[in-house]
Amino acid sequence: MDINRDAPASASAEEFVRAPLDLVWSVQTDIGEWSRWNPEVRYVEMRGPLTPGTEFRWKSGGSSIVSTLQEVEPKRRIAWTGKTMGIHA
């Protein structure tokens, strides 16, 4: 999944995590439990399985976000798009 590098705003982050890949993958992909480890996430509702096309709704900071899984490559990549306050991400 490529991002639009010409968009008015973009962001990315990278972090090295010293933990087994199986553990990192299970925490990162358990979307319904994001609020347990990320204090900015206050609510998550998963609307199906961990597969492309599945929608989830969540609240981060003061924003309510509707996201759709776009890519799920086990133990390699998870990518999603989202909409909030007229912004497509």
**Are the C-beta atoms of 31 and 42 separated by less than 8 Å?**
no
**Two tokens, residue 75:** 């133990």
Handedness of CA 5, 32, 73, 24 (dihedral sign): positive
Per-residue pLDDT of the chain (89 residues; tens, 9 = 90+): 677 777 777 777 788 889 999 999 999 999 999 999 999 999 999 999 999 999 999 999 889 999 999 999 999 999 998 988 877 77
- Residues ≥6 apart with Cβ < 8 Å to 43: 35, 57, 58, 59
78 to 28, 33, 50, 62: CA distances (angstroms): 9, 16, 9, 24
Give the residue extent of every domain in the chain: 40-88
